[in-house]
């Protein structure tokens, strides 16, 4: 009988090693890899570049207390996969550091199942980590691979490039607004928005297909305007975005508070879409790549000389954006 089942049978709380053994240990896919040594070992694929990213989620800051653990397991990995997608990397391995206020078997079971369901869908393998007692905190480091020179970076946008957006932004932020009582949504739209907030789908397939095609890319975690702004800053260019070209999800289109809906669209976070640039002669290739990846891509603007982002409405007037992002979401 394992230590974990000993503890469970005895009705005492699981210790750190028992938690790892019971919830986070799976057969290694490749010899020499897996959980349980002092370090994780990676057989780095010859000739490939490693892309490494870390994201941390804190209860009360990045997700509310009482969040469904299955969805939290999904999201903790999804935000890291989104960063790999933004670089065009193939997901390979990840580590998990987790602080738990208490050892709750039902919570750990839900969390680990949500985590591994997404991991399996993207063929990414847990190779190590740490657990400790403390305020609920989840930190994942994800490692991907890609051919040298093919990473999608933030500094490659060139004057004349198109600006593209995968999917649609704003629903996750609208879900947060609803949770905070700032807006009422009908049941179907509320469910759609909650799904976007709690179970984001990282655009890994699209990122992979944009290798050698996009000139720059970033994932939308802090809001479309803010994240596109990072690309512009790093590339030393500006952009003009046409508001009517930015796709509007049904829940936003029917939201009575149009100012809130617009703020969610342009400045809401947690979307995990990709915003990227590509030369205009590659438009058909971009559309084919998106179709093959199973996600819509919308051409929302173009890169211009200068600096900063200008968003124009149909009449050509600049749409004002709050200086510090969107105050509804300031914590």
Residues that bind Mg ion (CB under 5 A): 83, 219
Output the 3-class SS for the chain.
CCHHHHHHHHCCCCCHHHHHHHHCCCCCCCCCCCCCCCCCCCCCCCCCEEEEEEEEEEECCCECCCCCHHHHHHHHHHHHHHHHHHHCCEEEEEEEEEEECCCCHHHHHHHHHHHHHHHHHCCCEEEEEEEEECCCEEEEEEEEEECCCCCCCCCCCCCCCEEEEECCECHHHHHHHHHCCCCCCCHHHHHHHHHHHHCCCCCHHHHHHCCCCCCEEEECCCCHHHHHHHHHHHHCCEEEEEHHHCCECHHHHCCCCHHHHHHHHHHCCCCCCEEEEECHHHHHHHHHHHHHHCCCEEEEEEEECCCEEEEECCCCCECCCCCCCCHHHCC
Q: Please say which residue, 125 or 219, places its beta carbon nearer to Mg ion.
A: 219
Q: Supply the minimum distance, in Å, between the C-beta of residue 309 and Mg ion.
A: 17
Q: Supply the minimum distance, in Å, between the C-beta of residue 243 and Mg ion.
A: 24
Q: Supply the minimum distance, in Å, between the C-beta of residue 89 and Mg ion.
A: 12
Q: Supply the minimum distance, in Å, between the C-beta of residue 56 and Mg ion.
A: 13
Q: Supply the minimum distance, in Å, between the C-beta of residue 276 and Mg ion.
A: 12
Q: Please say which residue, 178 or 221, places its beta carbon nearer to Mg ion.
A: 221
């Amino acid at each position: 009988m394992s230590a974990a089942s000993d503890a469970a049978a005895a009705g005492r709380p699981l210790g750190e090693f028992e938690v790892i053994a019971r919830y986070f240990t799976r057969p290694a896919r490749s010899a020499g890899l897996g959980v349980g040594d002092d370090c994780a070992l990676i057989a780095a694929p010859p000739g490939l570049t490693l892309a490494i990213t870390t994201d941390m989620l804190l209860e009360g800051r990045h997700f509310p207390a009482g969040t469904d653990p299955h969805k939290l397991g999904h999201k903790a990995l999804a935000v890291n996969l989104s960063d790999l997608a933004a670089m065009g990397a193939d997901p390979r391995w990840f580590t998990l550091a987790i602080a738990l206020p208490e050892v709750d078997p039902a919570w750990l079971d839900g969390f680990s199942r949500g985590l591994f369901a997404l991991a399996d869908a993207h063929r990414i393998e847990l190779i190590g980590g740490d657990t400790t007692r403390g305020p609920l905190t989840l930190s994942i480091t994800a490692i991907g691979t890609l051919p040298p020179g093919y990473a999608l970076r933030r500094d490659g946008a060139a004057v004349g490039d198109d600006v593209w957006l995968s999917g649609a932004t704003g629903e996750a932020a609208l879900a947060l607004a609803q949770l905070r009582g700032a807006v009422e949504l009908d049941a179907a739209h509320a469910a759609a928005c909650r799904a976007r907030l709690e179970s984001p789908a990282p655009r890994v397939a699209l990122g992979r297909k944009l290798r050698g095609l996009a000139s720059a890319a970033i994932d939308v975690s802090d809001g479309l305007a803010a994240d596109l702004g990072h690309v512009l800053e790093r590339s030393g260019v500006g952009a003009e975005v046409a508001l009517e070209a930015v796709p509007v999800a049904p829940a936003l289109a029917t939201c009575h508070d149009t100012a809130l809906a617009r703020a969610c669209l342009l400045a809401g976070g947690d979307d995990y879409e990709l915003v990227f640039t590509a030369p205009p002669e590659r438009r058909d290739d971009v559309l084919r790549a998106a179709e093959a990846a199973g996600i819509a891509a919308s051409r929302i603007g173009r890169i211009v000389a200068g600096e900063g982002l200008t968003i124009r409405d149909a009449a050509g007037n600049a749409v004002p954006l709050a200086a510090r992002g969107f105050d509804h979401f300031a914590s």
